[in-house]
């Protein structure tokens, strides 16, 4: 597996080695020993979530109060997503900055984000499916949201899907009403 730290410290892109033959494909999506060696920390799993989205569905920006914080390990198992990580850690040198990774069923890339980072995903194809491992069980009392279209963050959201067709953004009411970064 190849690890690359994103422009946001504490966020990593992982690209697995794909082993294909006439039967199909195999890859190791997560391996604790390699993860710890590359990131310098363990990942303690407490919950696994799966989300299926139509093209244009934008989920986030979501984050958890830190502490306790929630780390996530995100993988696209079908279709494609733009995964966006936002630094929401006051005092961090990259506070308010974002970075993104294309997650799709072809590369099988994953993203890890540490506690204190915000997260959003935009589905780029109908039926796109993402699975994410979480270091903390869902705790509504710590759950927070931020507006994905905040002009201060200026996230460059794509307007076309992987098939070239225009995307119409679809967000939950909760995400539409989320507060601004400022």
Domains and CATH numbers, the chain: 2-147+165-174 (2.60.120.10)
For 26-43, the pLDDT digits (tens) are 999 999 999 999 999 999
| C-alpha 115: how far from chain center | 13
Provide the pLDDT confidence category of residue 176 given band limits of 50, 70 and 90: very high
Does the annotation mark 19 as catalytic?
no
Q: Exactly one of 46, 62, 73, 138 is catalytic; name it.
A: 62
| Of 46, 95, 132, 138, catalytic | 132
Report how far apart, in Å, the C-alpha atoms of 107 and of each of 29, 48, 76, 104, 145 are.
11, 21, 9, 6, 29
pLDDT in tens, 122-138: 999 999 999 999 999 99
pLDDT above 70 coverage of the chain, percent: 100
The sign of the torsion formed by the CA atoms of 88, 60, 65, 182 equals positive
Q: Determine whether 62 is an active site residue.
A: yes
**What pTM was estimated for this model as a whole?**
0.95
């Amino acid at each position: 597996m190849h690890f690359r730290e994103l422009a946001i410290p504490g966020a990593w892109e992982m690209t697995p080695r794909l082993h294909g033959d006439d039967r199909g494909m195999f890859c190791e999506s997560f391996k604790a020993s390699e993860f710890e060696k590359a990131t310098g920390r363990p990942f303690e799993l407490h919950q696994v979530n799966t989300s299926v989205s139509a093209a244009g569905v934008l989920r986030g920006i979501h984050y958890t109060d830190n502490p306790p914080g929630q780390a996530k390990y995100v993988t696209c198992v079908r279709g494609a997503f733009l995964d966006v990580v936002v630094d929401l850690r006051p005092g961090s040198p990259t506070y308010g900055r974002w970075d993104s990774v294309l997650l799709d069923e072809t590369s099988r890339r994953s993203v890890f984000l540490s506690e204190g980072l915000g997260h959003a995903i935009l589905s780029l194809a109908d039926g796109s499916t993402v699975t994410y491992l979480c270091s903390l069980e869902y705790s509504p009392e710590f759950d927070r949201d931020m507006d994905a279209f905040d002009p201060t963050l200026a996230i460059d959201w794509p307007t076309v899907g992987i098939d070239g067709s225009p995307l119409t953004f679809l967000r939950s009411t909760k995400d539409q009403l989320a507060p601004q970064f400022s």
